[in-house]
Amino acid sequence: MPEKKQESFTVTDRRLFTPEGELRKDAVEEQPPAPKPASQPAPATMQASAAPETPAAHEPEAPPAPTAAEQQQQADAYRKSSRDLDRRVELGGHSAKDLEMTFERFMASLYMTAMLQLGLMHEEGGQPRIDLIGARQTIDTLSLLSEKTKGNLTAAEADFLQNCLYELHMAYVEVTNALAHPPQAPAKGTGTS
């Protein structure tokens, strides 16, 4: 019977952190992997150093911007998909114009989102849900758009935006006041008969 040759292998723990979440001491000594070719974006990695960490050390690097050719290819593919969808919509007896995004439709979308977040609207058959932080951010987004688009809107667009903001500010105040001071039930025995 032939002898079995024993092979040996070494297991190396390459994890950077201990189970407690602390940086392993031997992880600092390891060499970082060789950089990948420029055609593929490298994933963000954490590199440990003996120097104190700065907030920027944890921020991943942004991927490289697409080339002009890649942007053009993507834009062409988007337009082709949009034309295909428009044809299908029109075959269904509807107008593709109904799908076009206008400034008023964009504002109306944000308005409806804020009303849903305030719990003043809900999906049919669903329960209202309140997300005050989300509502505030949506209202602040509309305020930001109002500020940044001053002088660039038609009178109708500007009026529509201001009306949306007015109604949402009032609704936000009403909802936050109602949550801060819920109605109290009258005390028993205080009614007159």
Q: Would the pTM of this model clear 0.85, i.e. be above it? A: no
Instruction: Identify whether 155 is part of a domain.
Output: yes
Q: Is residue 153 part of a domain?
A: yes
pLDDT digits (tens, 9 = 90+) for 134-152: 999 999 999 999 999 999 9
Residue 126, domain member (yes or no): yes
Residues 120, 124, 128, 131, CA torsion sign: negative
Between 132 and 59, name the one with better pLDDT: 132
Are residues 117 and 134 in contact, defined by beta-carbon separation less than 8 angstroms?
yes
Domain region containing 106:
101-180
Token duo for residue 38: 């420029």
The confidence score (pLDDT) of residue 172 equals 96
* Domain contains 91: no
Are the C-beta atoms of 141 and 110 separated by less than 8 Å?
Answer: yes
Q: Which of 36-40, 69-73, 189-193 tops mean pLDDT?
A: 69-73
Determine contact, residues 164/109, Cβ cutoff 8 Å: no
Q: Is residue 127 part of a domain?
A: yes
Instruction: Quote the Cα angle for 52-57-59, to 5°.
Output: 155
With respect to residue 148, please indicate whether it lies within any of the assigned structural domains.
yes
SS3 letters for the chain? CCCCCCCCCCCCCCCCECCCCCECHHHCCCCCCCCCCCCCCCCCCCCCCCCCCCHHHHCCCCCCCCCHHHHHHHHHHHHHHHHHHHHHHHHCCCCHHHHCCCHHHHHHHHHHHHHHHCCCCCCCCCCCCCCHHHHHHHHHHHHHHHHHCCCCCCHHHHHHHHHHHHHHHHHHHHHHHHHHCCCCCCCCCCCCC
In this predicted structure, what is the pLDDT of residue 139?
97
Q: Dump pLDDT digits (tens) for 11-37.
A: 666 666 666 666 667 655 445 555 555
As a whole-number percent, the residues of the chain with pLDDT over 90 amount to 43
Over the stretch 149-168, which tens digit does the pLDDT of each residue have?
Answer: 999 999 999 999 999 999 99
Note whether residue 166 is domain-resident: yes
pLDDT at 17: 65
> Which residues lie closer than 8 Å to 13 by C-beta, 6 or more apart?
24
Residue 114, burial from CB neighbour count under 10 angstroms (0-12, 13-18, 19+) = buried
- How many domains are there within the chain? 1
- With a cut of 80, say whether residue 97 has pLDDT above it: yes
Residue 112 in domain: yes
